[in-house]
Each structure stands twice: as C-alpha cells, then as structure tokens.
Amino acid sequence: MSRFQVVSGKGGTGKTTVAAALALALATEGRRTLLVEVEGRQGIAQLFESDALPYEERRLAVAPGGGEVHALAIDAERALLDYLQMFYKLGSAGRALKKLGAIDFATTIAPGVRDVLLTGKACEAVRRKDKQGRFVYDHVIMDAPPTGRITRFLNVNDEVAGLARIGPIHNQAQAVMRVLKSPETAVHLVTLLEEMPVQETADGIDELRAAELPVGRVVVNMVRPHLLDEETLRTASGGRRKEIAKALTRAGVTGSAGLVRPLVEQAAEHAQRVGLEREQRTVLAGLGLPMAELPLMGEGVSLSALYELAEEFRKQGVGDETADAAGQTPRGGKRRGSGRGVAS
C-alpha cells in the first residue's frame, strides 16, 4: 500500500477534508500517519479544532484503533533552513542567511525550488526511520495543491532541471522524484458529481500519467442521497401533474391543488439532478480507476463528522490500494498496532 498519499482535486471539492479523513481512517487501522499541509492555509488545524500548526510535527488525534494522526504545516522558508542544515551544516549561518534575505530569493524568485523544498520535506518524512530502522510514519498524507497545479508541483525534477543540473539541489530533486514516481506514492483526486470538477479530474489524470506520476483513486465527495426509486424518478421527470394530483386525491389529501405544482417542480429538479449525476458517474467510471465515495454531511464537517467520513473510507477499503500504474501486490513490511495486517 502506498506510504505517501497525495490528495489533489479542484478547489473547494474537499481536498483538505478528504486528506484528514484518510489519515484518520488509516490511524483507525492502527497506523501512525502524518498529515501535511503545504499551502499555509491552516485548514488541517481548523478541521481538528486545534490551534494553528507550527512548523513542527505534532500529534493531532488518537484514533479508536490506537493509531495516531500527526500533522505538519510545511513552510518553504523553514524547509530551506532544514535543507541548508542538512547539506551544508549551516545552523546559525542559515539563520544569518535568512536575515540577509537570501531565503526570500529562494522561495519567491524560484518557485521550482520552493516546490522541491515542500515536496522534499514530505518525502523526508516518508523515508524517515527510527533507531530500530522502522519507518517513523506508516503513511504520510498530503493536502496538496489543486489539480491545475499538482503535476507541476510534483514534477520537481523538471522544474529544477534548468536551475541546477548538478549539486545538492539537483540530487535532492532526484531523490524526491524517486519517491514520487514509485509505487510508494499514490495521487488521489477529489471530485464532485458535477461537470466541471469531473472534467478537471479527467484532465488531471491525463497530466499525471503523462508525467509518469502514480494515480491512486478518484474520491467522489459530497454525494447526495437519491430520494426516489426508478419508477417515481421517471414519473417525476415526466412532470405528470394530473396523475400526481389524482393520486393525492385518491390518497385522501385534500386541498392539495396549490401544492401539486411546487411538488412536481421539485421532484422534476431532483430527477434532473440524478440524471446529470449519472452522466458524471459514467464519465468517472470510464477513467478506469478505483473510486471511493463520501456522503454530503448535512451539518458540514465538524470533528465528529470527520470521524464518520473516516469510517466511510474504512468500509470502502480505502487506503488498501496501490497506485494504478504499478498494480503490483503490496510489498512485505512490518505490521503495526492492531492494523489488519496489510503490508505497508
């Protein structure tokens, strides 16, 4: 199973929510997960009703299965200091550099370098081992940039190629790409059952595949329940007002004349939406990727709703996939906690 799971999708479709629910679902299986954020929006802290995340890994939640969700808001400046420290042993010199404004140069003038730093930090967490040689995190889940930018964001190698052909930045980019293009990584795309996000998902998948980045699942979010059975749907979309009025009268509902029109209109609208959603489902099915679905939570996504969404993922076996390009069986690995013994 992919140890690095990247969650992208059209803006506002639920990337942050899905990433958090995924981390919780895996933690409920007994895994230790790290949820990372790269856009400085503090969306994760808000979801978990916690204070703003510092640039420091901290535990956010303990799941029923005993696993844990840790979180980190990756900040490009701090990641650069880490990086300088790692490659040049520039502890205090790094801080001096910051004062001189060198870091602004690296993070604002060269966006490619910024992305290498952000993805580099996430990949470092993916590969990090403890003294016993075990992975510190079973899974790293990234709340990633939206579909329109995800391929470029992850394809750091191409981005820095023009900037640094040799040297540590080049090597770092190569190491990052090795993780990103391996079956250790899966990029999930979140969508709604609407034309625009579905189209964006299809385009995003094409781009990711062209860049040889491993695509994971399509997560259909905010799915609304269907209220009517097939026959009623047909009647509703037909707008057969007289028939419905007669049925109401037969059922003993009197004084219903004024009610019929708005009822029929609502039913017709519902039927139309169901029809459109079916079309979008067909398009998504044609993408040939594993799918998962999360319901629309009526009251929005509170912390308890987030646990419910995580439970939905678990019921659907989400987290147990390998990336599509690879399609191989999970590799051997340690088990942790009360997990179901799926090798990570």
Ligand X SMILES: Nc1ncnc2c1ncn2[C@@H]1O[C@H](COP(=O)(O)OP(=O)(O)OP(=O)(O)O)[C@@H](O)[C@H]1O
In the complex, which residues of this chain contact ligand X (CB under 6 A)? 9, 11-17, 43, 146, 221-222, 294, 296-297, 300-301
Based on CB atoms, which residue is closest to ligand X, 258 or 298? Answer: 298
Residue 13: name its binding partner from Mg ion, ligand X, none (Cβ under 5 to 8 Å by kind).
Answer: ligand X
Give the up-direction half-sphere exposure of residue 106: CA atoms within 13 A in the CB hemisphere.
25
Binding span for Mg ion by CB under 5 A among 36-44, 67-75, 90-98, 112-120: 36-44
Site for Mg ion in 37-56 (CB under 5 A): 43
| Min dist. Cβ of residue 145 to ligand X (A) | 9
Question: Which pair of tokens denotes residue 290?
Answer: 């594993």
Residue 107: name its binding partner from Mg ion, ligand X, none (Cβ under 5 to 8 Å by kind).
Answer: none
Residue 297: name its binding partner from Mg ion, ligand X, none (Cβ under 5 to 8 Å by kind).
Answer: ligand X
Residue in 38, 24, 30, 32 with CA at minimum distance from that of residue 3: 32
DSSP output for 41-79:
--HHHHHTT-PPP-SS-EEEEE-TTS-EEEEEE--HHHH
Task: Determine which helix (DSSP H) or strand (DSSP E) holds 38, and give its type and residue range.
Answer: none
CB 310 within 8 A of CB 25: yes
By CB under 5 A, name the one of 5, 8, 13, 16 that touches Mg ion. 16
Residue 258: name its binding partner from Mg ion, ligand X, none (Cβ under 5 to 8 Å by kind).
Answer: none
Based on CB atoms, which residue is closest to ligand X, 162 or 298? Answer: 298
Residue 71: name its binding partner from Mg ion, ligand X, none (Cβ under 5 to 8 Å by kind).
Answer: none
| Min dist. Cβ of residue 11 to Mg ion (A) | 8
| Min dist. Cβ of residue 20 to ligand X (A) | 8
Q: What is the maximum alpha-carbon separation in the chain?
A: 86
DSSP state of 257: H
Residue 193: name its binding partner from Mg ion, ligand X, none (Cβ under 5 to 8 Å by kind).
Answer: none
Residue in 116, 35, 46, 110 with CA at minimum distance from that of residue 71: 35
Question: Which pair of tokens denotes residue 55?
Answer: 């640039």
DSSP state of 33: E
| Min dist. Cβ of residue 12 to ligand X (A) | 4
CB 61 within 8 A of CB 69: yes
Based on CB atoms, which residue is closest to ligand X, 177 or 187? Answer: 187
Residue 141: name its binding partner from ligand X, Mg ion, none (Cβ under 5 to 8 Å by kind).
Answer: none
| Min dist. Cβ of residue 117 to Mg ion (A) | 20
Rounded Cα–Cα distance for residues 319 and 100 (Å)? 44
CB 79 within 8 A of CB 40: no
| Min dist. Cβ of residue 75 to ligand X (A) | 17
Binding span for Mg ion by CB under 5 A among 7-15, 132-140, 236-244, 311-319: 7-15
Question: Which pair of tokens denotes residue 317?
Answer: 């076996």
- Residues near Mg ion (CB under 5 A) are 15-16, 43
